[in-house]
């Protein structure tokens, strides 16, 4: 069995650094145009060059998204976009539109083409046609089961790579092809501007009784009839590998660097352990604890094992947020951990230290110092540089997070 690639998201440079530090083999990110995620900062031309240089220096690949459905007035901008991508040295372009594929082959020669999940590949016939067009990898529709993926793998060339989402938010529409946001808000979901109306709570209002709202019950728990759970396949690495998936993709370009670090780290450890232990592999439940320590919705296994059972959340659209990052460790100075504060904290709080390749473990903050070396009782300004006297030796790229008070 070939070791699968671990592919992580990055909406900004901090998330890119987190992905690289915590074990990603490749990172996908967006430019300022043609990206299905417009809410993150994304990467301008200079930032893209810097991102590729940083990733390649660390042995990590960069995949640039160009997966929107461009309109007529945007086509003339694509050649420049591709030339910038080629000059920056990106390793692949993630594309959806057939016309975009042809333009990419002309203006970005030598760069691999990956067919986005937006393409909606659910069978080997489509995968083979894309391969004949020069596509190196297909990102499968999220509606496919492991059995269907295995069949697709058996009927496609071995040189065609298969990528599939293994973790993160899911879309209630077919492979993200949705017009609900367009109808309700005027924001085009196929051009990265989805307002996520599938997460809203809906009610009926009878015309003669304005202001009197009647709930729509899909069951006795609520009215969030389109609100899907998040995908989590951390417990099923062996099944994913055996199905022939080349690349395990984590959703989350709009998520925080902390999310990217934690989820990348957990899947990195799970993949490495399975590939090392083989048939003796047993899932480490501490990794499931890890993926619960980020902001998320209730988890499920998507369509991998057939039609989803209990795939929706009826009680509301809010995320589960119990854990907070306190600080990011960026170095060491005179035995103290040099940190960037992310959320307020004090030595009276309880903490875990998360390092690449390890699960979180308890650590104490004995004292906090400001940039001038003065003792402070509490770090209260996110973004400020602080120095911490920890009960354990500091580790660059480590993350200090607060343990919830109810645990």
What CATH number is associated with residue 340?
2.40.30.10
Task: Write down the pLDDT at residue 393.
Answer: 87
Assess if residue 159 is contained within a domain. Answer: yes
- What residue has token string 């967006």? 30
Q: Is 212 among the domain residues?
A: no
Query: What is the predicted pLDDT for the residue at 187?
Result: 73
My answer on whether 51 and 87 are in the same domain is yes
Residue 329 shares a structural domain with residue 266: no
Task: Check whether residue 271 and residue 385 sit in a common domain.
Answer: no
Asked if residue 257 belongs to a domain, the reply is: yes
Domain limits at 239? Answer: 5-174+229-300
Residues of the chain with pLDDT under 70: 36-40, 173-179, 181, 183-184, 188-194, 197-200, 202-203, 214-225, 313-314, 316-317, 407
Q: Same domain, yes or no, for 280 and 388?
A: no
Q: Is residue 356 part of a domain?
A: yes
Do 240 and 347 have their domain in common?
Answer: no
20: in domain: yes
Alpha carbon distance 110, 300 (integer Å): 38
**161 in the same domain as 36:** yes
Of the candidates 300, 335, 356, which is a domain's last residue? 300
Q: Is the whole-model pTM more than 0.75?
A: yes
- Say if 186 falls within a structural domain: no
Q: Which pLDDT score is estimated for 186?
A: 73
The reply to whether 288 and 331 lie within a common domain is no
Q: Does 168 lie in the same domain as 25? A: yes
In angstroms, rounded to a whole number, what is the distance separating the alpha carbons of residues 62 and 305?
Answer: 31
Q: What is the pLDDT of residue 307?
A: 81
Q: Are residues 290 and 339 in the same domain?
A: no
CATH code, domain carrying 151:
3.20.20.70
| Shared domain check, 268 and 156 | yes
For the chain, how many structural domains are there in total? 2
Which of 249, 284, 300 is the last residue before a domain boundary? 300
Residue 64 belongs to a domain: yes
**Same domain, residue pair 89 and 146:** yes
Q: Do 59 and 127 reside in the same domain of the chain?
A: yes
Residue 287 lies in a domain: yes
């Amino acid at each position: 069995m070939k070791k699968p690639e671990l592919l992580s998201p990055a909406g900004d440079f901090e998330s890119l650094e987190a992905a690289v530090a915590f074990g990603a083999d490749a990172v996908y990110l967006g430019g300022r145009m043609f990206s299905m995620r417009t809410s993150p900062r994304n990467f301008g031309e200079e930032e893209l060059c810097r991102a590729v240089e940083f990733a390649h220096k660390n042995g990590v690949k960069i995949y640039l998204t160009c997966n929107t459905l461009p309109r007529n007035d945007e086509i003339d901008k694509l050649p420049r976009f591709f030339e910038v991508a080629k000059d920056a040295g990106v390793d692949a372009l993630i594309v959806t539109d057939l016309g975009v594929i042809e333009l990419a082959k002309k203006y970005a020669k030598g760069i691999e083409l990956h067919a986005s999940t937006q393409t909606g590949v659910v069978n080997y016939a489509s995968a083979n046609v894309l391969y004949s067009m020069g596509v190196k990898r297909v990102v499968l529709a999220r509606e496919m089961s492991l059995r269907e993926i295995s069949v697709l793998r058996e009927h496609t060339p071995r040189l065609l790579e298969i990528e599939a989402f293994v973790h993160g938010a899911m879309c209630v529409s077919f492979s993200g092809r949705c017009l609900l946001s367009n109808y309700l808000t005027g924001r085009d979901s196929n051009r990265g501007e989805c307002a996520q109306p599938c997460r809203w709570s809906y009610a009926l209002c009878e015309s003669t009784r304005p202001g009197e709202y009647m709930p729509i019950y899909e069951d006795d728990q609520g009215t969030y009839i389109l609100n899907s759970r998040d995908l989590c396949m951390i417990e099923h690495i062996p099944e994913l590998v055996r199905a022939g998936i080349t690349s395990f993709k984590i959703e989350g370009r709009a998520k925080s660097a902390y999310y990217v670090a934690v989820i990348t780290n957990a899947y990195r450890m799970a993949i490495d352990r399975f590939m090392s232990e083989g048939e003796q592999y047993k899932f480490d439940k501490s990794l499931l604890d890890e993926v619960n320590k980020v902001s998320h919705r209730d988890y499920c296994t998507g369509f991998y094992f057939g039609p989803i059972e209990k795939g929706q959340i009826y009680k509301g659209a809010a995320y589960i947020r119990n854990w907070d990052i306190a600080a990011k460790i960026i170095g060491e100075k005179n035995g103290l951990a040099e940190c960037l504060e992310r959320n307020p904290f004090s030595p009276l709080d309880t903490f875990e230290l998360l390092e690449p390749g390890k699960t979180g473990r308890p650590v104490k903050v004995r004292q906090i110092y400001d940039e001038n070396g003065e003792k402070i009782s509490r770090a209260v300004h996110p973004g400020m540089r602080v120095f911490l006297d920890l009960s354990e030796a500091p580790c660059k790229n480590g993350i200090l997070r607060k343990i919830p008070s109810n645990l």
